[in-house]
Chain A
Amino acid sequence: MINKDENKLVNNEQENRVTLKGISPWKIAFTRLRKNKLALTGLIVLSILIFLAITADFIAPHGRDHIDLFNINAAPSSEFLLGTDELGRDILSRLIYGGQVSLSVGLIATSIALVIGVTLGAIAGYAGGLIDNVIMRIVDIVMCFPFFVIAIVIASILGPSIWNVMFVIGALSWTGLARIVRAEILTLKEKEFIEAAKSLGLEGHEIITKHLLPNILAPILVFATLGIAGAILVEAGLSFLGFGVRQPQPSWGNMISAAQSMTVLRLRWWQWIPPGFLIFITVLSINFLGDGLRDALDPRLKQ
C-alpha cells in the first residue's frame, strides 16, 4: 500500500517535469499509439518490409532478373529458398525487389492523391460559395468513374508501366479525401480560434496552412495510411491483369499473375502463395496501423 503511494508520488513528479516541457497533442497521440499492440505490430512489420525493399541490392540472394535455365520451376531448396519461376528466376529475390515496386506505388500514388485532395478540399471548404460548388461537382464527377475500367483504359492508352499505374491510382483516388478535408474545414472554420486568427489580421492562406491544416492532419494521416493499402491492392490487381508493372520488373501483383495458369495454381504453390501472402501481410499491417492512428489521434478519447 505504502509502496503504491510512493509510486504515485514519483509518477506525479515525473508528470510535473514533463509538463514543464509542454505536451503537444502529437506527443499524446504517440504515447497512445505505443500502447496499441496491434498497431505497433503493423508498424514493425512495415518497417521490416521497407527496410528489405530499400536494401534489396545487398540482401537479395540472387539478381533480380538472373535466369538459371537449369532450375526452371524448381521447388524451394537450400539454394532457392522459395524456389524459382518458369524462367528460372529466384522467387525470393524477386519478392524483395517486388516490394520496392509495391511500396513505392503505394506511397507515390497516395502522395498524388494527397496533394490533389487536400488542396481542392481545403480551398472548397474555406472559400465556400461558387468555388466550393464547382470543386465539389468535379469531385462528384470523378467519383462516378468506374475505377477499374478507367484505370484499364488509361493504362492501355499510355501503356503499362509503373509510372502510369501511380498516376492513374493517384488521379482517381483523391475524391474521398477532398470530401473529408472539406467537411473538416467547414466545421473548423466556425471555431473561435479561426476568428481570433482573422482578428489578428492573418490572411486566408495563412489561416489554412497555420490553423486549419494542422488540425485536420489526423484524418488526413489516417486516410493516407489506409490509402497506401488501397493503392497496393490496386497495383496488384492491375499488374495481375497485365495492365500494371511490366515484366521483367517484378511486382507482387504481376508475380501472382503466374497463378492464372492452372498448373501453377495446383502444382507450384511457391510461385503464387508468397507474393499473395506479402500483399496480404502488408495491407493488413497498414490497416492495423491506420486504425491505431485513428484511435490515437481521436481527440474525443481522452487518456
Chain B
Amino acid sequence: MAKTVLKIEGLKTSFNTTAGLVRAVDGVSFSVDEGKVLGIVGESGCGKSVTSLSVMRLVPKPNGHITDGKILFEGKDLLRIKESEMRKIRGNHIAMIFQEPMTALNPVFTIGNQIGESLALHQGLTGKKNVERCIELLKTVEIPRPDKVVDEYPHQLSGGMRQRVMIAMALSCDPKILIADEPTTALDVTIQAQVLELMKELNAKLGTATMLITHDLGVIAEMADDVIVMYAGKVVEEAPVVNIFKTTKHPYTLGLLKSRPDMLDEDEKLSCIRGMVPSPYNMPKGCAFAPRCDKRMDICDEKMPNLIEIEPGHKVRCWLFEEGGA
C-alpha cells in the first residue's frame, strides 16, 4: 500500500462577491498517494481549480477564504501553519503547473533565471551549480539544446516547449506532490500527446504524487489512476479510473461521458445534459445536479445526497444509490 502524501478533509472555500457568497468548494475530501495520479474532472466553475489553489494556499485574497477543513500534507495541516512556513513548502514540496504557459512565465527573465530562482531559494544552489542543475532539468523534460535554451527568453519558445519548462520548474526541487491544472488544454493534439507522454514517464520515474485537474475525460483516461468528478463545488463521484469509465454510477458522470463523441459506440447519437450549471448565487436546495438530471426524483429537490461508498473505492453522491432515495 502506497503512502498517502496529501489528505484533504472537508475543505470549504468561498468567495465574497458583491452579489453574495459563493461556495466554490463545498466540503471536498480526498487523498493522493505516492506515485499515483489523481484526476479531478469537472466543467468550468465546478471548483476544481479553486481546490488546487486552496492546497497551495493561494486562494485570491481578499475575497477568497478557506472557511473549513483540513489539508494534511505528510500529516501536517497546511491550514494551521504560518505563511512563512507555507512558503517553504510551496514550490519545494508542492509544485504546480498552470494551464497557460505563456502567462505563467515571466517574459523578461531567461529560462535559466526562472528555474534557477527556486533552486536558489529552496536548495541554496547558486552560480555554476545552479546553471548545471537547470540544464539537467531541461534535459529531463526532453528539451532539445538545453544548454542554449537556458539563456533564452520565454517568447523564443513554442507553447509545448514552454509547458516543458513549466514542468522542469515544478520538478526542480523534487516535490512530493505535483499539481497540474489543465496542463495541456492550451496545446495542440500532437503536442499534448508529447507532454502527456512526458508527464507519464516522469511520474513513473520519480514517483511524484500528482493531482491532475482537467475538463478532458480523454486526458483522464490517459493519465489518471483514480478520479474525482466534481460538480458545483462538491465531489459527486470518486473511483478508480476504470470504474469511472466502465461502471459509471452518477448520472452527471454518465452525461459527461456521453457528451464526448469519441466515447460513443458506432452510430450512437450524442446525448446531452440539458440546461446549464446552476448559478453559484442561486444553488438548488437539494442535489445541485437535479435540475439537469434525467433520473431526478422528488427527494433530489429537497435534500443533498451524501457521498457514500457503494463498492470498495467507488463513492457516489446520488439518491439512486443511497438509502431513503429510491
Contacts and interface: CB of A to CB of B under 8 A. Distances in A.
The answer to whether A and B come from one shared complex is yes
Interface of A: 8, 11-12, 15, 303
A12 B17 contact: no
A192 to B, nearest CB: 19
A12 B18 contact: no
Nearest to B17: A303
Nearest to B21: A8
B19 interface: yes
SS class of chain A's interface: helix, strand, loop or mixed?
helix
8 contacts: A8-B20, A11-B20, A12-B281, A12-B282, A15-B19, A303-B17, A303-B18, A303-B19
Nearest to A16: B282
Interface in B91-129: none
B91 to A, nearest CB: 29
Contacts of A303: 17-19
A15 B18 CA distance: 13
Contacts of A12: 281-282
Contacts of B18: 303
Contacts of B17: 303
A126 B10 CA distance: 55
Q: Which 6 A-B pairs have the closest CB atoms?
A: A303-B18, A8-B20, A12-B282, A303-B17, A303-B19, A12-B281
A8 B20 CA distance: 8
Nearest to A8: B20
Interface in B225-244: none
A12 B283 CA distance: 12
Contacts of A11: 20
B227 to A, nearest CB: 33
A15 B282 CA distance: 12
Given A8-B20, A303-B18, A303-B19, 5 more contacts: A11-B20, A12-B281, A12-B282, A15-B19, A303-B17
A148 B141 CA distance: 63
Contacts of A15: 19
Nearest to B20: A8
Interface in B4-43: 17-20
A280 B147 CA distance: 62
Contacts of A8: 20
A195 to B, nearest CB: 23
A8 B283 CA distance: 13
A15 B19 CA distance: 10
A8 B282 CA distance: 10
A12 B21 CA distance: 13
B76 to A, nearest CB: 34
A4 to B, nearest CB: 10
A12 B281 CA distance: 9
A11 B282 CA distance: 11
A11 B20 CA distance: 10
B161 to A, nearest CB: 27
Interface string B262-283: 0000000000000000000110
Nearest to A35: B18
A16 to B, nearest CB: 9
B107 to A, nearest CB: 20
Contacts of B281: 12
A297 B20 CA distance: 23
A11 B19 CA distance: 9
B18 to A, nearest CB: 5
A8 B19 CA distance: 9
B279 to A, nearest CB: 9
A28 to B, nearest CB: 12
Nearest to B282: A12
Contacts of B282: 12
B86 to A, nearest CB: 29
A303 to B, nearest CB: 5
B176 to A, nearest CB: 37
A8 B21 CA distance: 10
A8 B18 CA distance: 11
A12 B282 CA distance: 8
A8 B17 CA distance: 13
A303 B15 CA distance: 14
A12 B17 CA distance: 14
A295 to B, nearest CB: 15
A267 to B, nearest CB: 55
A11 B17 CA distance: 14
B63 to A, nearest CB: 11
Nearest to A12: B282
A113 B19 CA distance: 40
Contacts of B20: 8, 11
B149 to A, nearest CB: 32
A184 to B, nearest CB: 24
A285 B50 CA distance: 43
B62 to A, nearest CB: 15
A47 to B, nearest CB: 28
A127 B98 CA distance: 40
Nearest to B281: A12
Interface string B154-198: 000000000000000000000000000000000000000000000
A15 B279 CA distance: 13
A303 B22 CA distance: 15
Nearest to B19: A303
A19 to B, nearest CB: 11
A98 to B, nearest CB: 43
B56 to A, nearest CB: 24
A300 to B, nearest CB: 16
A32 B263 CA distance: 47
